Every structure is written in C-alpha cells, then in structure tokens.
A and B are shown apart, each in its own frame.
Chain A
Amino acid sequence: MKKKAIDFSVITRSKITWAVVAEILILLVCFIIRPDFFSISIQPSTGVLYGSLIDILNRSAEITIIAMGMTLAIALGGTDLSVGALVAVSGAMALKLMRWDVLEYSTPGDYTVYPFWMAILLPLLTCMLMGLFNGILISKGGMQPFIATLILMVSGRGIAQILTNGKQFTTMYSPFRVIGQGHLGPIPMPIIIMTVVCIAMAVFVRKTAFGTFVESVGVNKSASRLSGISSDTVIIIVYTLTGLLAGIAGLIYSSRIMSNDSNNAGINYEMDAILAVVIGGTAMTGGKFSLIGTIIGSIIIRTIVTFVYYFGIVAEATMAFKALIIAVVIILQSEPVREYFARRSEKRALQG
C-alpha cells in the first residue's frame, strides 16, 4: 500500500504529468463544446489525413523542431534568441537560390535557378554557421547567451532582407512544395520531418553521453570541466545544432507559403520555443531536461492557437486568452502546487 502511494506522488510531482493534464483539459473543453473537433478523415481529393488534431500536429512542427534545440540550450543554463531570425534567413536564402534574380526570372514558376539540393543545403549550412557563431561567442568569448544570441536576433532579419533586396520572392517549384505541403502516405510532411528530428535528437542525447554532458555543464560548468568534460565543445555543438534546427523550421515555414517573408517568418518563435521548453518541465536555470516534455509543451501552444481559430475567439481577445491558458498551465506546474497535490495524494494513501 505504502509503495503504491510513493509511486503516485512521483507522478504528481513530475512537471510532465501536469503538462499532459493541461493538454487533456484543453482538448476536453474542445470536446465538450464541439465533439467534431476530434473528427479525423482522409481528404478524398488529396489522400491526406484531415482534421483539427492533424492541424495541431502539422502546424506545431516548426516550434517543436526549434524547441528541441532550445531544450538543450536551456539545459545548459542559456537560451537562444536568434532562432526566429534564423527561420527568416533560411527561407530567404532558399527562395533566393530558387529565384536568384527576380528581374531576370520575373514570374514565379515551377523552376529553380540553382539546383534543388543547393537551395535546401545552403540555407541549413548558413543557419548552422550562424549557430556556430553563437556558440563561439558564448563559449570562447564568455558572453552571456542572452546577449550573444541577441546579436543575430536583431541582425538576422536584416541579413534576410539583404539576401532578397527587401523583396518577397514567390516560387511554384513543386519539389520545394513537398517540404511544407506534401505528404508521405496520408501523413503531412511537416509531421514526418518533426518526428524524424525528435527521434534523432532523442537518440543523440540519450543513447550517447551527450545528454549527460549537457546536464552536467548546465548544473556546474567548472565542475564538469574538472571532471574532464570540454564544456566549450558541448556549448558549441548545442548552439550549432539549434541553428541547424531553426534552418529546418525555416524551410518548412517558407515551403508552406511558397515564399520568403523576412518580416514575419519566425516572428516570436524564440519566445514560443522557450515557452514550450518551460511548459515541458525544463527549468530555465539549467540542468535536467526533458525532450518529451518539450514536445508536449509545443503541442499545447499550438492547441491553444487552433482552439482560438476553431471556436472563433474574437481577434481582440486572442492574446489575452492565450496568456490566460499559459498562466494556468505554468501555475499548475509550479513547485508549491505540485508539492500540494503530491502531499495530498500521500496523505490520502496513508489514510487509506
């Protein structure tokens, strides 16, 4: 009897539990208002899964992918503010390579000026290099992550604007469309990409010692160094990875709209990603982290947005509504609340 009670309090003490509870509560409200929120069908004309739950997963892809990297950056006790701007850089670069010069190639069409692999790999490489730049500033330069990544957050959009001469390029190149609007079997491509990224990340941090290194550096940098972990290398790898993931998200974003939108692409993504990580139970102070928690956090954020659209919350109240739900989720997860529930369940178990 006693053993069972302890198990239960472990569950109520876990932040992930409360993230899951929050998600289930939101979905429950959706179900009560309109059960058909949950209907999923196969769209006959396209053969793709169709339904609000699919939309939530599909459109959470960008934030989930970015938040995978953000989780590690936060576990290191840092943060990466540049990811939103890198989304814009990645999209601008891809469109630039496909359209190159809009004066010469004046109408968008099903063509690419530079080979497709270049239009995909060069943006990713650029974002990786920008991430590397962040990592070097933080590790070798000893800068605060907040300040170091602020540099690219501010200048990144400018770089994206310069790449496309401040213009919005549009393309109709069909292989590019596959990334954001295509599908593998009945599953939308962004969900596939997101799943692959999440699995790759999980394997990388949990099946190698890298995850432990990150947690160790996040808890105590000097102690880790003394125990033989090169904290500089860990930091550089994490920020480079975050840059790469922001690049992938940028390609998905720009493929969805088949254009670059340097002013709006990835705007506030750094905040959404940080929020996803925090809702997922990783503390901003660094140390232990949870990738699964982050995925749930990202899905919660997208569920709220979809809820607002689906149930037609008036435009003026949208922001306040989102803030309210997120505040409730964060409070549910806070130390005192979790302690309270854990103690209650312990007490009840003892009484029983």
Chain B
Amino acid sequence: MKKVLALGLAAAMCMGFAAPAMADVQIAFSQIGQESDWRTANTDSINGTIEAHEGWELIYDDAQQKQENQIKALRNFITQDVDYILFTGVVSTGWEEVLAEVNEAEIPLILIDRLPDCIDDIDYVAAFGGDFVEEGRRQVAWAGEYLKSVGRGDEEVNVVIMEGTTGASAQTGRTEGNLAALEEYPNLKLVGQQTGNFTRAEGQAVMESWLKSIDKIDVLIAQNDDMALGAIDAIKAAGLVPGEDIIIVGCDSVKAAFEAIVAGEMNATIECTPLYGPFVEETIEALENGEEMSKEIVHPEEGVYDMEGGIDLGTVTSVAAADVIDERIY
C-alpha cells in the first residue's frame, strides 16, 4: 500500500515539475518569506507582473525566512532548468556555493532587493535594490530643509535617531546616511540614538524614555514608519502634539504613515518602494531581445511625501501625501 502511495506521489511530483516545461519563458523567484506589508507588496508586484505577461511562467518559492529553504529552492530551480532566476537573500552571507552552482548551470541570475555580499564574485545579469544610504540622507535633509522653509534654519534644534534592527542592511545604510547628512546641517544637533528594532511597540517604549531623559526633542528621525507610528502614541501620552511640537520623519512610506501625515500627526516619510515588477519586466524583456545589461546596481525611483510638498532635497522634491494617498497600494 505504502509503495503504491509513494509511486503515486512520485508520479504526481514528476508531472508537477514537467508541466511548466511547456511554457515559453520560465522565471523562478526565490523570495525571503512574508515578514511585513512591504514584503507582501514586493511579492505581489513581482509575481503579478510575471503572471500577467504573456508567454511567461512564474515558479515561485516562499522560503519562510530560512536560508536553507532558499538554497533548496535555488537547487530545485537548477534541476528544473528554468530560464531566469530572481533572487533576494534573507541574509547577506553564505550564498557563494549555491550561486556558483547557478552560474555553472548558466541560468541568468537577476539580483533584487537584499544583495548578497559575494556580489563581486558571481555572474549576474542585473541587480536592483533600494539605496538605504540615500534614504537616510533624505530623512535628515528633509528635516533640515523643512526647518529652513519655516524660518528655523538657524535655530539650534535637537534631533533623535531611532534606528532599525542593529546590523540589518537597512539600519546600517540609513544610519550612515543620517549621520552624513547631519554634518551638512550644523543647526541639527544629535542628542539621542537608539534602536527601536523596526517595531511599533519598541518605537513607543524608546520614545517614552527619551521624552523623560532628554530635555527637549525637536525632530525624530525614525528609520521606518512603524517606529514613527509607535512614537506618536508616546508623544501624545507625554502631553505633546506629534507633528507640531516634535517633527517626525519616517521611512518606507507605508499606507498608515500616509494616513498619519494627512491627519497632521507625522511630517514626512521617505519612500522605499517594494514595487519591483516593472524593473523585472523591463530587464527580462531586454534580455529576451538579446540586449546586454549593465552590471551597475540600479536603484528604484523613490519619492518623499510630506504634509504640503515642495521641499527640495537636491535629488528629489517632496510631494504632498494627501495628493497621492488614494494611489498607494501598500
């Protein structure tokens, strides 16, 4: 009985693997998992684009935040001899061996989002990811330029930086950008720096303590919107008005941040877009047409959203959140 069952299962698996071979272009995508709304929007964008494209077949693997699952998925993709592999790594190290196998199999590799540390030692056809340093720079620059625009450019203001999970690429990059930009605005004085682990609850607890230990806080730079949203509650509990008494700049541009900005409780959010679908589509179409791609890491075009718009940050000018809130899909 057991043997029959095993045979049946094996047959089913063979058929399962054989079926996609009928399609024209097979695109395999090894995704980290579903850890946040951002990630969900990222998956939906990429998968949606591929599925909607005529003649393209999606082979999707959700690794549930485990590196071993991703390695297994990549090896499966090699066995299935897919046409393209899209890859973002849950961690930055330990990919040398399996990516070398992908190279050996001569399957074009497209790196997205979290790029592996071994990026210089492997062959890839295109790389696309957020520029965390630039996002960090924009956060502080927005605060500096905004203060200038309301005539507080010379006033000395106290700034606190609420960092993400220590060691995460988004935290190291944004902190680097934050600190570099602070040098350019001498009136911004750094008075506090602490991790809020990218979560609302810890953002709230850290802000609560800061409000007691630091005499005057004028600007909060939170390295993601969730921490900013948590901090808003702590600011209210301390009898202050978020968005007025304390200027709050978040990052990511999730929908809840837009709602907070429209409600006047948050000042700005720097976008970190998860919508990679169009890039993936363009790249694969170009490769299918035999075009050569640049190895340069491509950064997505991202906006800055605030209450009124019109703050010029050099590389980008802010847009009023209220104007675009209805278009936001994540």
- Interface residues of chain B: helix, strand, loop or mixed (majority): helix
Complex: chain B residue closest to A44, CB-CB: B239
B101 at the binding interface (Cβ < 8 Å): no
Give the interface segment out of A14-22, A47-55, A115-123, A292-300.
Answer: A47-55
- CB pair A309–B194 under 8 Å, yes or no, is yes
- Interface residues of chain A: helix, strand, loop or mixed (majority): mixed
A311 at the binding interface (Cβ < 8 Å): yes
A310 at the binding interface (Cβ < 8 Å): yes
For this complex, 9 residue pairs linking A to B, each with C-beta atoms less than 8 Å apart, are A43-B238, A43-B239, A50-B238, A167-B37, A308-B194, A309-B210, A312-B192, A315-B166, A318-B195
A213 at the binding interface (Cβ < 8 Å): no
Q: Which A residues between 154 and 195 are near B, CB-CB below 8 angstroms?
A: 161, 166-168, 170, 181
A305 at the binding interface (Cβ < 8 Å): yes
Shortest CB distance A158–B (Å): 9
Specify which of A181, A263, A310, A316 is in contact with B36 (CB 8 Å cutoff): A263
- CB pair A257–B200 under 8 Å, yes or no, is yes
Q: Which 3 A-B pairs have the closest CB atoms?
A: A309-B209, A45-B239, A315-B195
How distant is the Cα of A79 from the Cα of B154 in the complex, in angstroms? 58
- CB pair A309–B40 under 8 Å, yes or no, is no
- CB pair B193–A314 under 8 Å, yes or no, is yes
How distant is the Cα of A135 from the Cα of B209 in the complex, in angstroms? 39
A108 proximity list for chain B (CB < 8 A): 259
Shortest CB distance A271–B (Å): 15
- CB pair B213–A265 under 8 Å, yes or no, is no
If A48-B237, A309-B194, A318-B166 touch, whether A264 touches B199 (CB-CB below 8 Å) is: yes
- CB pair B37–A168 under 8 Å, yes or no, is yes
A170 proximity list for chain B (CB < 8 A): 256
Which one of B201, B208, B210, B230 has the highest number of Cβ atoms from chain A below 10 Å of its Cβ?
B201
Give 1 or 0 for each of B207-225: 1 = CB within 8 Å of chain A CB: 0111011000000000000
A288 at the binding interface (Cβ < 8 Å): no
Residues of B at under 8 Å CB distance from A? Answer: 34-37, 40, 163, 166, 192-195, 197-201, 204-206, 208-210, 212-213, 226, 229-230, 233, 237-239, 256, 259
A257 proximity list for chain B (CB < 8 A): 200-201, 204, 229-230, 233
If A264-B197, A265-B201, A316-B166 touch, whether A311 touches B213 (CB-CB below 8 Å) is: yes
Give 1 or 0 for each of A300-337: 1 = CB within 8 Å of chain B CB: 00000110111111111011000000000000000000
- CB pair B193–A43 under 8 Å, yes or no, is no
How distant is the Cα of A314 from the Cα of B163 in the complex, in angstroms? 11
If A170-B256, A257-B201 touch, whether A161 touches B194 (CB-CB below 8 Å) is: no
How distant is the Cα of A51 from the Cα of B195 in the complex, in angstroms? 21
How distant is the Cα of A256 from the Cα of B233 in the complex, in angstroms? 8
A265 proximity list for chain B (CB < 8 A): 201
- CB pair B213–A34 under 8 Å, yes or no, is yes
Which one of A51, A108, A259, A265 has the highest number of Cβ atoms from chain B below 10 Å of its Cβ?
A259
Shortest CB distance A320–B (Å): 11
A270 proximity list for chain B (CB < 8 A): none
Shortest CB distance B282–A (Å): 28
- CB pair A253–B193 under 8 Å, yes or no, is no
Specify which of A46, A48, A258, A310 is in contact with B212 (CB 8 Å cutoff): A310
A316 proximity list for chain B (CB < 8 A): 166
B233 proximity list for chain A (CB < 8 A): 181, 256-258
Complex: chain B residue closest to A161, CB-CB: B34
A215 at the binding interface (Cβ < 8 Å): no
B259 proximity list for chain A (CB < 8 A): 107-108
Shortest CB distance A332–B (Å): 26
A43 proximity list for chain B (CB < 8 A): 237-239
How distant is the Cα of A265 from the Cα of B230 in the complex, in angstroms? 13
- CB pair B206–A256 under 8 Å, yes or no, is no
A338 at the binding interface (Cβ < 8 Å): no
Complex: chain A residue closest to B213, CB-CB: A310
